[in-house]
Amino acid sequence: MSLIKLIQLKSHGDDRGQLISLEGNRNIPFNIKRVYYIYETLTDVRRGFHAHKSLEQILICIYGSCSILLDDGDKKETIRLNTPNVGLYIGAMLWREMFDFSKECVLMVLASEHYKEEDYIRNYTRFLEELECASYV
């Protein structure tokens, strides 16, 4: 699954606490056009259930923990995010589901584009069909 990678974010700190700076096209591999976060998600709730046609994202669990299931149509991989100094890069055309949220989890997402509904693939069968069509191009 080459469209994912964990990015170690450099933490700067001392006895006053820690600070992590996120800069587009520096420690984030794209220009950041949108930031949002998910919080107060119940532990038995699953979110996501979609892929993006072109959007790139970095997911950072800035507090608590959660798991991310990634699926490229061939292989599935689950990543546990539980530290604010690690970001999960997710490229385009990967199905994602977020689950197993800790009670206090705050999951922040950095996106390479503004929200566009037409970039979402919300049906898994359609996702597989689009992957198959892309492999013939």
Residue 95 lies in a domain: yes
Cβ-proximal residues to 33 (8 Å cutoff; 6+ apart), any chain:
111, 112, 113, 114
Distance between CA 115 and CA 118 in Å, rounded?
Answer: 9
Catalytic one among 12, 50, 52, 114? 50
For the domain that residue 98 is a member of, what is the CATH number?
Answer: 2.60.120.10
Position 4 scores a pLDDT of 79
Position 135 scores a pLDDT of 67
Distance between CA 114 and CA 97 in Å, rounded?
Answer: 20
Q: 50 an active-site residue?
A: yes
- Tokens 């546990």 belong to which residue? 80
Distances (CA, A) of 45 to 36, 40, 41, 64: 18, 10, 7, 15
- Tell me how many domains the chain contains: 1
Residue 47 lies in a domain: yes
Tell me the pLDDT tens digit for each residue of 15-31.
Answer: 999 999 999 999 999 99
Q: Residue 81 has which token pair?
A: 């995010």
Residue 17 lies in a domain: no
Residue 39 lies in a domain: yes
Q: Kindly indicate the confidence band of residue 137, based on its pLDDT and cuts at 50, 70 and 90.
A: very low
pTM value > 0.75? yes
